[in-house]
């Protein structure tokens, strides 16, 4: 229960057209101020002021990340509840809302295009580039340990890139599918699997946001160094979760929070690492729970080292017979 004065503050914050538009946009996942400014077509100071009012009233949360800040709907409380109630009552036919959603899609498509151009350019040198970020040996040993002696029916590797995870785990699945949006990456992965005589894995062009489930749902999904390319990793995790069998597991490998802004400007990263608390919240929202977390600090020989994390997520649904 909240005091009347607090509730009035929440209502005042929500009761303005631009702020309502912002809430409706954030219903689609976390967004950066930069993108929200572009979508609304208003000045950045103006958008930031609206966002601050919404955050102060508890309707949204703010997450500062290097030079950028991300906003999302508050998880709960009077503010979070009111935000969801309002969004649920906003007509999908509202012309301004429609325009905002079209601009949001255009902004997202442009980002996907930039990332795709980057991966097309680096595809051939990716195996070298990935090992420059961090020493992979310890991480790969931990991935193998997390899978243990299991041999799963179907492994799905989302954002497979050059197919390294399919190669590493080849002895632990009966069938595997690697999915990636980059034709260039897929071509290299296909050649790599052929030269390693790994015939029980296939690679396909596909998008995590729009997965084709016709090959069945996976016992194990791996998402290795992919989520930081999205503004809203939680949304992508929920999309990926649809491809998981009841009782299945996900292994997520990504960077811990860092301050290396050049990875954003030069290497298509969107998020400067993922925090444990964020991962726990995203997992919860996707009906998963964090069963284990391992961290790998940077190799001391790498000047600007990054910590890599391995999260093991398990199905949190009580009834796993769905």
Return residues touching ligand SAM (CB under 6 A).
Answer: 115, 119, 130, 158-162, 164-165, 179-182, 185, 207-209, 224-226, 229
Considering the complex, what minimum distance in angstroms separates the CB of residue 256 from ligand SAM? Answer: 16
CA 285 to chain centre: 13
Considering the complex, what minimum distance in angstroms separates the CB of residue 82 from ligand SAM? Answer: 32
Considering the complex, what minimum distance in angstroms separates the CB of residue 205 from ligand SAM? Answer: 9
Considering the complex, what minimum distance in angstroms separates the CB of residue 208 from ligand SAM? Answer: 4
CA angle, 316 then 319 then 321, to 5°: 115
| Closest-approach residue to ligand SAM (CB) | 161
Q: Is the dihedral of CA 111, 114, 117, 118 positive or negative?
A: negative
Report the residue number, 34 or 267, with the smaller CB distance to ligand SAM. 267
Considering the complex, what minimum distance in angstroms separates the CB of residue 241 from ligand SAM? Answer: 14
Q: Which helix (H) or strand (E) holds 115?
A: helix 95-122
The Cα–Cα gap between 131 and 158 comes to 19
The Cα–Cα gap between 78 and 1 comes to 8
Report the residue number, 160 or 278, with the smaller CB distance to ligand SAM. 160
The Cα–Cα gap between 238 and 231 comes to 14
Report the residue number, 90 or 198, with the smaller CB distance to ligand SAM. 198
Q: Are 38 and 102 spatial neighbours (Cβ–Cβ below 8 Å)? A: no
Report the residue number, 194 or 209, with the smaller CB distance to ligand SAM. 209
Considering the complex, what minimum distance in angstroms separates the CB of residue 224 from ligand SAM? Answer: 4
Report the residue number, 11 or 110, with the smaller CB distance to ligand SAM. 110
CA 266 to chain centre: 19
Report the residue number, 52 or 204, with the smaller CB distance to ligand SAM. 204
Backbone angles phi, psi at 150, to 5 degrees: -65, 150
* Helical axes 95-122 vs 33-40, angle rounded to 10°: 130
Considering the complex, what minimum distance in angstroms separates the CB of residue 172 from ligand SAM? Answer: 16
Report the residue number, 130 or 217, with the smaller CB distance to ligand SAM. 130
Encode 129-145: b = buried (16+ Cβ within 10 Å), e = exposed.
ebeebbbbeebbebbee
Q: Taking the CB of residue 107, how many other CB atoms lie within 10 A of it?
A: 18
């Amino acid at each position: 229960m909240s005091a009347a004065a607090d509730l009035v503050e929440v209502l005042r914050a929500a009761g303005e057209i631009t702020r309502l538009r912002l809430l409706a946009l954030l219903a689609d996942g976390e967004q950066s101020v930069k993108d929200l400014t572009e979508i609304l077509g208003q000045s950045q100071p103006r958008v930031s002021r609206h966002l601050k009012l919404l955050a102060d009233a508890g309707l949204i949360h703010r997450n500062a990340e290097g030079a950028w800040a991300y906003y999302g709907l508050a998880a709960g409380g009077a503010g979070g509840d009111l935000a969801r109630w309002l969004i649920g009552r906003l007509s999908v036919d509202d012309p301004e809302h429609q325009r905002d959603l079209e601009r949001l899609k255009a902004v997202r498509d442009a980002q996907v295009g930039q990332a795709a151009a980057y991966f097309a350019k680096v595809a051939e040198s990716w195996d070298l580039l990935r090992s420059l970020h961090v020493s992979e040996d310890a991480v790969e040993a931990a991935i193998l340990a997390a899978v243990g002696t299991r041999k799963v029916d179907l492994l799905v590797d989302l954002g497979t890139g050059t197919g390294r995870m399919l190669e590493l785990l080849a002895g632990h699945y009966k069938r595997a599918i690697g999915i990636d949006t980059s034709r260039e990456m897929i071509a290299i992965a296909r050649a790599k699997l052929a030269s390693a005589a790994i015939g029980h894995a296939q690679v396909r062009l596909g998008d995590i946001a729009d997965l084709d489930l016709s090959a069945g749902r996976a016992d194990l999904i791996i998402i290795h160094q992919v989520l930081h390319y999205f503004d809203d990793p939680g949304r992508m995790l929920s999309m990926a979760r649809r491809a998981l069998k009841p009782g299945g597991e996900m292994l997520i490998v990504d960077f811990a929070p860092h301050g290396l802004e050049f990875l954003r400007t030069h290497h298509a990263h969107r998020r400067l690492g993922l925090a444990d608390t964020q991962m726990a919240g995203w997992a919860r929202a996707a009906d998963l729970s964090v069963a284990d977390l391992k961290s790998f600090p940077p190799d001391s020989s790498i000047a600007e080292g990054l910590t890599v994390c391995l999260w093991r997520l398990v199905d949190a649904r009580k009834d796993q017979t769905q």
